[in-house]
Chains A and B, each alone.
Chain A
Amino acid sequence: AQSVAQPEDQVNVAEGNPLTVKCTYSVSGNPYLFWYVQYPNRGLQFLLKYITGDNLVKGSYGFEAEFNKSQTSFHLKKPSALVSDSALYFCAAINTNAGKSTFGDGTTLTVKP
C-alpha cells in the first residue's frame, strides 16, 4: 500500500525567511509526486509535480520542491516566504498503475510579518 507522510502539522516562519515543508512517501515503482495548496474556504490548488528528470522542480508562486529518491522525500521549499503563502499544504503521490493519488494529512504554514 502506498502512503505519504507530512511529519509536521504546523510550520511557522518569518516573512522573508526561507521555508521548507517536509514530505516523505512510500510508493512502489517510480512515483509521480505533487504539492497542492489550500487557502481558506477554497479547493486544493495544484502547485507543482515531479515525474522524472531534474530532482529540483519549480512551480507556481516561486515554490520549488526537491526530489530525493534515496530518502524517499519530496520537500517543498521557497527561498523567501510571504505572508500570503500562509495556507494548508498537501503532498501527494501516485503510482500510475494504481490510478489514484494518496495525500498526506497536510501541513499548515503560517508566515508572520
Chain B
Amino acid sequence: DAGVIQSPRHEVTEMGQEVTLRCKPISGHNSLFWYRQTMMRGLELLIYFNNNVPIDDSGMPEDRFSAKMPNASFSTLKIQPSEPRDSAVYFCASSSGTGGRYEQFFGPGTRLTVL
C-alpha cells in the first residue's frame, strides 16, 4: 500500500490567492482527517470525515477554509483567499475506524507558504 498521498508537497503562493490541497487516503479506510501544524499552535485538527461525510468541522478556523470528500478515495482542503497566517504544514490522515483500528496513518504533509 502506498500510504496516504498528499499533493502538492510544497506550495508557495501570494496573499489573496486560492490554494487547494489534495489527499488520497489508504484504500478501505473509513475516516479521514485534516490537520494543520505550526510551531506556535502545534498540531490542530481542522475537520474529519467518516464515510465521506463531514462529522466535525469545529477546528476550521474561518469561512475561508472549506473541505470536501466527494468519494472514498479523494479529499480536498481549500483556502480562499489565503493569508500569510495560513502558512503551515497541512497533514491528511486516515484510519479504518472499525474493529478497534483507530490508529491514524498520516501523509507526508503539504508545506504551505503564503507571502
A→B interface (CB under 8 Å): 32, 34, 36, 42-46, 49, 51, 90, 94, 96, 99-101, 103, 105-106
Contact = CB atoms under 8 A, between A and B. Distances in A.
Contact of B43 (A42, A51, A90): A90
Contact of A43 (B55, B102, B106): B106
Contact of A101 (B104, B105, B108, B109): B104
Contacts, number: 50
Interface residues of B, number: 22
Given A32-B102, A44-B91, A46-B103, A99 B108 contact: no
A106 B31 CA distance: 23
Contacts of A34: 102-104
A2 B52 CA distance: 24
B45 A100 contact: yes
A99 B91 contact: no
A73 to B, nearest CB: 19
